[in-house]
Amino acid sequence: MHSILGFALLGHLVSHLVSGTPTSSGLDKRSPLGISLPPLIPSIPGVTEPLTSDAPPLPILQLPTPPLESPPFTPSSIRPKKIGFFWTGAGDNEHKDFLVTASLDDDTFGTIIDLTDVPSSGNSPHHLGVSLDGKTIVGGGLLSLLKTQDTAYYFDVSDPYRPQFSHSNRGVLSSIVDEIRAKPDGGFFITYMGSAVGTSPGRLIETDAGGNILHEWPEDVPSVLNILGEQFSPHGLTVDFEKNIILTSDFVVPLSILKPTTGIQHANTLRLWNLASRSIISTITIPNGQGIQDVKFIPGNPESAALATAVGLGQVWIIYPFRIDAATGKQGVAQPLFDLGPAARNSVAIYSDISDDGRFAYFTITLGNHVAALDISDLDNVKRLDDPSEVQPIIGPHYVKISPDKKNLLVTGYFVQAGDISVLNTPGDYKGHWIDILPDGSLNFNRTIDFEHIFTTSRGGARPHSSVIFDLTDPEHPVYY
């Protein structure tokens, strides 16, 4: 059941449970923010006054009703070497959202090992990330805000065969969790695409090793002015810890996908950050990009070049973060690299992964029902490895992970279905596709896990959006990705 509620009611629902005080340096050690409901945007003299009159009401809130309890499940006793974790929404949006632990081994492929519920429903589970030590997984909720629920959910996977829900939290200034990157100290960087009420600007969240939110970047005045001056809806996130830089890519204003809307507000920009100070160096524009959903550094590239997906154009662009733009004199240059063809244009979403040797790149074209493969070993001579006219056995591909041994792609066939409240509802097959990578980098569709079929009677189906892969083949050198 939905109610049309103004921002005044949202303000009535939220509480101000914030500890710690920001400082001008922004790099102080403070207490975790530790809030349970999003507060109003704090006042920044000379900066936030325009937001007061321009902030629209959140159009539709869902009643924060408790989720339906999940039916009993008996865990499997198998202990495969390769494990897939899938962050999954209940198909009926009434049962608890959950993490699925499944075997990716050849002999037991698709066997559900365990199910781990979170204490809420209707989050529309989004992206998933894992800590470098493989002990913590965090998953975000795309629509958690609409039920005034926490937006990030943490799981203890110290025992990967029996994950446990740990805790959840949310940002003060931001909502709509997207990309997640692990920090060497055990914490995370996480892009939050929207403000506390789903508008622009969003924020780059930083947590400690326990998953507690410490900062919502940027905090310095010049960078805050930057994100207020132009749409800041960070979705893609990539970090080069050695070169001291971060790239975030701006996608869409989350509120603009909900009714009533005058149309989805797409962005054409990326932000280049100084990692040490967590401040924005410059804004990089892809002309008419119409949503820069993803950006990833190419492993081993001497210039720290990154690939970015321009969804409206259906193109892959290359970002050179240390080159100087001749027109603006600012750091960061964007150049077109490869056109993915007509099926990729205006495809709502194009997400990517790059092999750890920097040789191959894969792109999911959601509305094109296609996974593209590129050989990028020579950036001056990029080769397409798939047939763009081939009808592949997949519907609505989105999240993609290359297996640690580079033998498979794990692709989920589901992006977003927000229902009657939204203008964005993409077809999906609700499967986890385990696709063979051939020696030349091309693809062979092979096996799937059919989540909709498995959970039809117990949760009204299932919506697996994202995944993490554990490869425990070598116990002395486990890989978590």
- 309 contacts 352 by C-beta, under 8 angstroms: yes
Domains of the chain as residue ranges with CATH:
81-480 (2.130.10.10)
Cα(344)–Cα(80) distance, integer angstroms: 36
Q: Cα separation of 64 and 14, whole Å?
A: 12
Calpha distance 61→98 (Å, rounded): 22
DSSP track, 67-119: PBPPPP--------SEEEEEEEEETTSSBPPEEEEEE-STTTTT-EEEEEE-S
Confidence at residue 1, expressed as pLDDT on a 0 to 100 scale: 35
DSSP symbol at 65? P
In the chain, what is the greatest distance between 2 CA atoms, to the nearest angstrom?
A: 63
User: What are 45's two structure tokens?
Assistant: 């003299």
Give residue for tokens 């997906």.
Answer: 309
Rounded CA-CA distance 255/143 in Å is: 10
Q: What gap in Å lies between CA 449 and CA 73, rounded to an integer?
A: 18
Q: What is the pLDDT of residue 20?
A: 38
Answer whether 80's CB lies under 8 Å from 478's CB. no
Alpha carbon distance 141, 178 (integer Å): 8
Per-residue pLDDT in tens (0 to 9) along the chain, 481 residues:
333 333 333 333 333 333 333 333 446 555 565 454 433 344 555 544 444 444 455 556 777 778 888 999 999 999 999 999 999 999 999 999 999 999 999 999 999 999 999 999 999 999 999 999 999 999 999 999 998 899 999 999 999 999 999 999 999 999 999 999 999 989 999 999 999 999 999 999 999 999 999 999 999 999 999 999 999 999 999 999 999 999 999 999 999 998 888 899 999 999 999 999 999 999 999 999 999 999 999 999 999 999 999 999 999 999 999 999 998 999 999 999 999 999 999 999 999 999 999 999 999 999 999 999 999 999 999 999 999 999 999 999 999 999 999 999 999 999 999 888 889 999 999 999 999 999 999 999 999 999 999 999 999 999 999 999 999 999 999 999 9
d(CA 424, CA 415): 10
Residue 56 has what DSSP assignment? Answer: P
